[in-house]
Amino acid sequence: MKRLGFLIPLGAFLALAIVLAVGLNRDPREVPSPLIGKPAPSFSLTRLDDPQTSIALADLRGKVWMLNVWASWCVACRDEHPLLVAFSKKGLLPIYGLNYKDQRDDGSAWLMRMGNPYQASLFDNEGRVGIDFGVYGVPETFIIDKTGTIRMKHIGPLTPEVIATEIEPLLKKLNA
């Protein structure tokens, strides 16, 4: 019995190796979300730039909009951001940010530095709304339709391919 204890490190390592091997052969970004086709969770959060004004899910009903989860501490968001800024200039749909587990000053400074593609950013300091949306990490992007139903979710930074092959066709369908 005592001998078995000395096998624990080996067992733990082999389990880790299996995870690594699986991770190696995987394109991580194609994951169906259980939330797709479900109504977006309701929320009411203050704007990042204005603690006095709140935005609720109901305010956004009737339009197709994008929710982009970001944070000033998020390294991948830096990669994604220029693309998002360029995309917002096309004006295809309003983009709202969910400023996830961040500080107000940090978030605002970050937007000032990197450019602001958002109609508004919702300030989710404690990450409650993020949890409701099933956010594992940052960045993530959701497309929500006129009825408030989540139609698409993308995990990780957006890429030009995702925008061209998934988001834009979806928008054509939703706006038709």
Partner 1 sequence: MIPELGHLALWLALGVSLVLGTMPMVGAARGRLDWTALARPSARVLFALVALSFVCLAASFAGNDFSVLYVASNSNRLLPLHYRITAVWGGHEGSILLWLLMLTFWTAAVAQFSRHLPDAMSARILAVMGWLSFGFLLFVLTTSNPFDRLFPAAAEGRDLNPLLQDPGMVIHPPMLYMGYVGLSVAFSFAVAALIGGNLDASWARWARPWTTAAWFFLTIGIALGSGWAYYELGWGGWWFWDPVENASFMPWLVATALIHSLAVTEKRGSFKSWTVLLAILAFSLSLLGTFLVRSGVLSSVHAFATDPKRGLFILAFLVIVIGASLALYAWRAPSVGLGARFSLVSRETMLLGNNVLLVVACGAVLLGTLYPLALDALNLGKISVGPPYFDTVFVPLLTPLVFLMGIGPLARWKEAELPDLAKRLKWAAGSAVVATIVAIWVHGGIGIVGALGLLMAFWIVASVTTDLVERLQPPAGTRVALLQRARLIPRAMVGMMIAHLGVAAFILGVTLVKSGEVERDVKMEIGDTTEIGDYVFTFRGVREVPGPNYRAAQGTIEVSEGGRAVATLHPQKRIYTATQAAMTEADIDTGLTRDLYVSLGEPVANGAWIVRVYYKPFVDWIWGGCLIMGLGGVLAATDRRYRQRAKKTVRTDALGAVLGTT
Which stretches of the chain bind partner 1, using CB under 8 A?
A: 2-3, 6-7, 9-10, 13-14, 16-26, 28-29, 31, 33, 71, 73-76, 78-79, 101, 105-106, 109, 112-113, 127, 136-138, 155-156
Nearer to partner 1, 85 or 170 (CB): 85
User: How near is the Cβ of 35 to partner 1 at its closest, in Å?
Assistant: 11
Number of helices (H), then strands (E), belonging to the chain: the values are: 7, 7
Token pair 């800024």: residue: 85
User: Cβ–Cβ contacts within 10 Å for residue 63, how many?
Assistant: 13
Whether a cis peptide bond, with omega within 30° of 0, leads into 139 is yes
User: How near is the Cβ of 145 to partner 1 at its closest, in Å?
Assistant: 22
Rg (CA), the chain: 19
- Between the two ends of the chain, the Cα-to-Cα distance in Å is 68
Q: What angle do CA 140, 144, 149 make, to 5 degrees?
A: 120
Nearer to partner 1, 36 or 56 (CB): 36
User: Cβ–Cβ contacts within 10 Å for residue 36, how many?
Assistant: 13
Cβ within 8 Å of residue 39, ≥6 positions away: 147, 148, 149, 150
User: How near is the Cβ of 27 to partner 1 at its closest, in Å?
Assistant: 9
User: How near is the Cβ of 143 to partner 1 at its closest, in Å?
Assistant: 16
Report d(CA 122, CA 43) in Å as an integer.
10
User: How near is the Cβ of 89 to partner 1 at its closest, in Å?
Assistant: 15
Nearer to partner 1, 93 or 116 (CB): 116
Nearer to partner 1, 20 or 176 (CB): 20
Nearer to partner 1, 56 or 131 (CB): 131
